[in-house]
Amino acid sequence: MHRTSATLTDGRRIHYYDEHPGRVRESAPHALTQVPAAAASLRRDPTTQEWILMAPHRRARPASGRHCPLCTDSPREVAEIPVGAYDVAVFDNRFPALAGRPGTTGQADGSSLLTSAPAPGHCEVISYSNDHGTTMVRLSRSRVRTIVDAWADRTQELNRLDGVEQVVCFENRGAEVGASLEHPHGQIYAYPWIPDRFQRMQETALQEHLRGEDCVFCRVLDAEERAGSRVVVQSAHWTAFVPFAARWPFEVHIYARRHVPDLAALQEEERDDLASLYRSVLQRFETVADRPLP
């Protein structure tokens, strides 16, 4: 994987992850210059004390239509990635749900009961290919490996930012779950807090540790491998399985078979193996319905 970075003319950063070196790009490529003012905020639910993210400005983000902003042959006033061919590209989201630095205090809206605050953090878009018509399943194993490297690299870089507590790489596919573009892509969020589910998982792991138990995730992996009935596919370094307490009609978890802290800590052979197994899991999802699953 070979990374090159540049600053777009509107000040946002873009990073190219190529499988082979040698591609020459403009030092400051053209990009959209009109960046909407970020209007995201956090509002606290007084009945649960949870902070809820509000990002109404994202309604203005581009949607699938005549021209795709992730395709390099789109008009210059539309294209987000204004270069020729690329393998994988990551750039600052023009419509971020999280933006700015942490530390600003909240404000009451009419009473101390209704409290809001800025939504700091950082959001990026990752385009898996310059081919509009492909999907992660159709990509080569080497391209999926490049995506894995990009996930790991951005996780490492964003974790270095002040105030970042959790980096999450994810993909929404299909209008049913809010994806506005058909082009194969995902997103990377750097949260200034640990999202609720991850927080509960961390607290559970800590409680188990204080009771003298081994890592709860390692024990779950061992239990699922011994049971075998929910294992979807295994490899040298990974196991994919339907969890015992699945929350969704279609749900598969992928666990590393070595205890590692994050994607950036994966060794070369583990990343190779993840690329193969992840694509295999997605291919299996493609066989269970008569249309692409959201």
The three-state (H, E, C) secondary structure of 2-45, written as one string = EEEEEECCCCCEEEEEECCCCCCCCCCCCCCCCCCCCCCEEEEE
At residue 65 the predicted structure's pLDDT band, cuts being 50, 70 and 90, is low
Residues whose CB is less than 8 angstroms from the CB of residue 182 and which lie 6 or more positions away in sequence, other chains included: 64, 68, 132
Lowest mean pLDDT among 86-100, 141-155, 256-270: 86-100
HSE, CB side, 13 Å, CA atoms: give it for residue 128. 29
For the annotated catalytic residues, the residue numbers are 185
Lowest mean pLDDT among 72-76, 222-226, 251-255, 278-282: 72-76
The yes-or-no verdict on residue 120 having pLDDT over 50 is yes
Instruction: List domains and CATH numbers for the chain.
Output: 2-193 (3.30.428.10), 198-285 (3.30.428.10)
At residue 80 the predicted structure's pLDDT band, cuts being 50, 70 and 90, is confident
**The pLDDT of residue 144:** 97
- Dump pLDDT digits (tens) for 28-63: 455 555 555 556 788 888 998 888 888 766 666 665
Nearest to 97 by CA among 127, 48, 68, 55: 55
Beta partners for 240? 233, 254
Q: Whole-number mean pLDDT of the chain?
A: 87
Report CA torsion sign: 22, 28, 29, 31.
positive
In terms of pLDDT, which residue wins out, 273 or 117?
A: 273
Contact 168, 188 (CB under 8 A): yes
**The pLDDT of residue 105:** 46
In terms of pLDDT, which residue wins out, 290 or 150?
A: 150
**The pLDDT of residue 293:** 83
- Helix intervals (H) in 98-215: 141-159, 196-210
Give the span between the Cα atoms of 274 and 264, in whole angstroms: 13
At residue 24 the predicted structure's pLDDT band, cuts being 50, 70 and 90, is low
pTM over 0.85: yes
- Dump pLDDT digits (tens) for 254-283: 999 999 999 999 999 999 999 999 999 999
Q: Report the 10 Å Cβ neighbour count for 89.
A: 23
Burial class (CB in 10 A: 0-12, 13-18, 19+), 99: buried
Contact 145, 156 (CB under 8 A): no
Q: What is the mean pLDDT of residues 225-249?
A: 97
- Dump pLDDT digits (tens) for 178-215: 787 889 999 999 998 898 899 999 999 999 999 999 99
CA dihedral 71→74→80→82, nearest 10 degrees, is: 90
The yes-or-no verdict on residue 84 having pLDDT over 80 is no
**The pLDDT of residue 164:** 93
**The pLDDT of residue 8:** 86
The yes-or-no verdict on residue 88 having pLDDT over 90 is yes
